[in-house]
Amino acid sequence: MPLLLLGTAQDGGVPQAGCGCINCFRFKRSAASVALVDGKNVVLIDITPDFRFQYRMLIERFGGGLSAIYLTHAHWGHYGGLPLLGRESWNVRNMPVFLSQPFHDLLSSNEPFSSLIRNSNITPQIIEENVITQHGITPVHVSHRDEFSDTFAFLFKLNDRKVLYMPDADNFEGEPDSLIRSVDLAIIDGTFYSADELPRRDITRIPHPFVVDTIKRYSDIADRIMFTHLNHTNPLLDSDSPERTELEAMGFRVANDGDVIE
């Protein structure tokens, strides 16, 4: 059962609207999303504003099909593709969408999402922490800016390997740390490489772990870590950058759109 990486950028994608930086001219990545492909049974984790193109990639690589969608949290890059399932577009019937109760409450009380539920385009299914679903996926709570909903990472098996998908997290302290150490592959938040990318921002207010710190923390398990959710400012976008060369020499990997993990 392969995992297809449909997108590996932070919510705003690369290029990012309104930006003329060098990375935004050189590179192209969709917002973070993955598809677990089990024959015709495809489970999507997060449905991004880039979903039209990501679905085409899914067809080209694995013939398409979509059985269910899981949502990590209520930041728009992770669920902004939901309206593409509605009447103006796909008009899909009863697509199961797995999400937390607070996230469900947010969707069901706001347009254009509430009409997706009313029109039976999507059928919400409430996830619970540590309760394994029918797709063999275990939701685990993650601390992240929770102004609209709580945030989950997902644990699942690829063949016999345990995989953790945690695209957004405030930090890797405590429980996330033990989770990351417990799996065979952890695809985790690599939004910012270092504070140098954000010269005008107070770094204590940036709710993401910096990759420079993460690679120190996990140098002993480097070959089990893959970074995703890259911001347009991140030097890891450039496969020839000294930062990326150093990180890969340590054994870490950077996720790329279109990568398939068997």
Adjacent-strand bridge partners of 185: 163
Q: Which stretch binds Zn ion (CB under 5 A): 19-27, 34-42, 87-95, 116-124?
A: 19-27
CB of 60 to Zn ion, least distance (A): 25
Check binding of 21 to Zn ion (CB under 5 A): yes
Give the per-residue contact string, 72-101, with Zn ion (x = CB under 5 A; - = no). Answer: ---x-x------------------------
Among the listed residues 1, 19, 158, 198, the single contact to Zn ion using CB under 5 A: 19
CB of 130 to Zn ion, least distance (A): 21
Minimum CB distance to Zn ion smaller for 46 or for 121: 46
Among 187, 170, 165, 160, CA closest to 72: 165
Check binding of 131 to Zn ion (CB under 5 A): no
Q: Could you tell me what percentage of the chain is helix, strand and coil, using 3-state DSSP and rounding each to the nearest 5?
A: 30, 25, 45
Structure tokens at 157: 């098996």
User: Is the preceding omega at residue 112 within 30 degrees of 0, hence cis?
Assistant: yes
Q: Which stretch binds Zn ion (CB under 5 A): 8-16, 41-49, 80-88, 244-252?
A: 8-16
Check binding of 150 to Zn ion (CB under 5 A): no
How many Å apart are CA 121 and CA 108, to the nearest integer? 13
Give the per-residue contact string, 166-205, with Zn ion (x = CB under 5 A; - = no). Answer: --x-------------------------------------
CB of 144 to Zn ion, least distance (A): 6
Exposure pattern of 20-48 as b/e (b: 16+ CB <10 Å)? Answer: eeebbeebebbbbbbbbbeeeebbbbbbb
Sheet with strand 253-254: strands edge to edge: 138-142, 151-158, 161-166, 185-189, 225-228, 253-254
User: Is the preceding omega at residue 15 within 30 degrees of 0, hence cis?
Assistant: yes
Identify whether the C-beta of residue 184 lies closer than 8 Å to the C-beta of residue 162.
yes
Q: Mapping DSSP to helix (H, G, I), strand (E, B) and coil, where does residue 199 land?
A: coil
CB of 62 to Zn ion, least distance (A): 25
Structure tokens at 25: 């001219």
Q: Which stretch binds Zn ion (CB under 5 A): 3-11, 104-112, 130-138, 245-253?
A: 3-11
Q: Which stretch binds Zn ion (CB under 5 A): 17-25, 122-130, 131-139, 253-261?
A: 17-25
- Residues near Zn ion (CB under 5 A) are 11, 16, 19, 21, 24, 75, 77, 168, 232
